[in-house]
Amino acid sequence: MLALAVLGSGKGSNFQSILDAVRDKRLDARIVCTISDVADAFILERARRAGVPAYHVDCSPWKTKLEGMGEERVLELLREHGADAVALAGFMRIVKPRLIEAYRNRIVNIHPSLLPAFPGLRAWEQALAYGVHVTGCTVHFVDEGTDTGPIIAQRVVPVFDSDTPETLHARIQEQEHLAYPEALQWLAEGRLRVEGRRVFRD
Amino acid sequence: MLALAVLGSGKGSNFQSILDAVRDKRLDARIVCTISDVADAFILERARRAGVPAYHVDCSPWKTKLEGMGEERVLELLREHGADAVALAGFMRIVKPRLIEAYRNRIVNIHPSLLPAFPGLRAWEQALAYGVHVTGCTVHFVDEGTDTGPIIAQRVVPVFDSDTPETLHARIQEQEHLAYPEALQWLAEGRLRVEGRRVFRD
């Protein structure tokens, strides 16, 4: 059974989809701990309600990356709880090489676009402004770049003429909540093989 | 009825899908002429067989753009044949501002990826090398950039672990042959409204 740690900064809707999948036995994992860089993030409350150890880690003085003391503390918690893998769920900091190297191809993220289109923040707004007719979400391993790691799964979402950023984002999130637990289950089953940039499912 | 000119450099499989759609009355257009920068391109032979005026235009000394005398001759042919709009079908030259301004939002192209991902040459190989799990094709208006114009339609294609560039390209082309005539029919019906980068279908 996969020992999975979750890192997040916000409300944790993707974390909830992971918790639900574990409860429903669609995801063969144990959530060993949940860590947030935001003391009052709702993701920590979700963890507590589910009986998962929840930690706030102070990541100052940096605002957008996980480095130094905060990174050290996260690594310590991951080891303490025996985490095999890490799922980022709305974690708003860039993960730096030290953590990436410690968990190479064991840190997974979900991004609200069909990467490599629209990396970075508020991808659904970028997609709408660009005028694409389809977008979606991407589950990928985390590497040293921003949203550049090997892709595990992608799901497609149509963009409608009538869409606002809110309606499009909601439609993408529905697919995220299906894609993320499914991809984590493949990881739990040991079925994912990374060759260069490509991820094969054995 | 839309008076449509077609420009291409190769075998013209997208041109064939346009000819078939006109024949089957799925596309309310008349193909007024076909122009190629390659004297022995099969697209010209397809035109002749269909009774469409076929022209080779010498575009030297440039190898990758349509400028100068060649551009002049293309514009002359378009005017002579009363073309309302231009469909690029495997035309391997960059269209320059003079032609774009003469036919602003009346020149259409199809590209074998989900733009803005993988612009430029051999997009299906780029997609496979990047490791995406979905790709597709994009019908767009031509602007001054390379594959950057407002998007009219996109169709999605899965990428399989077993794919080679050839199998993936073939799967994308199937969707191109559906997407292109359909998008041209929207243009023929006068239903496309361009606002900034977005194309709305009234």
Per-residue confidence band for B202, with pLDDT thresholds at 50, 70 and 90: confident
Res B169 pLDDT > 90 = yes
Q: How many domains does chain B have?
A: 1
Interface-testing mutation among A111, A118, A132, with chain B (most B C-beta atoms within 10 A): A132
How far, in whole angstroms, is CA B90 from its chain's centroid? 6
The residue range of the domain holding B111 is 2-201
- B contact test, residue of A113, A118, A134, A193 with most B CBs within 10 A: A134
B-chain residues near A161 (CB < 8 A): 200-201
Cα separation, A179 vs B171, in Å, equals 24
How does pLDDT run across A57-111, given as a tens digit for each residue? Answer: 999 999 999 999 999 999 999 999 999 999 999 999 999 999 999 999 999 999 9
Smallest Cβ–Cβ distance between B161 and the set A150, A197, A200 belongs to A200
The minimal CB distance from A134 to the residues B131, B154, B201 is found for: B154
**Catalytic amino acids of A?**
111
Mean pLDDT in chain B? Answer: 97
Rounded percentage of chain A residues whose pLDDT exceeds 70: 100
Report the b/e string of A170-187 with b at 16+ CB within 10 A: ebbbebbbebbbbbbbbb
Task: Give the tokens for residue B106.
Answer: 């009346």
B124: enclosing H helix or E strand: helix B123-130
What is the pLDDT, as a whole number, of residue A202? 87
Task: Please write the tens of the pLDDT for every residue from B34-67.
Answer: 999 999 999 999 999 999 999 999 999 999 999 9
Residue A16 has pLDDT above 90, yes or no: yes
Mean pLDDT value across residues A34-39 = 98
Q: What is the CATH number of the domain that holds B34?
A: 3.40.50.170
Are the C-beta atoms of A122 and A147 separated by less than 8 Å? no
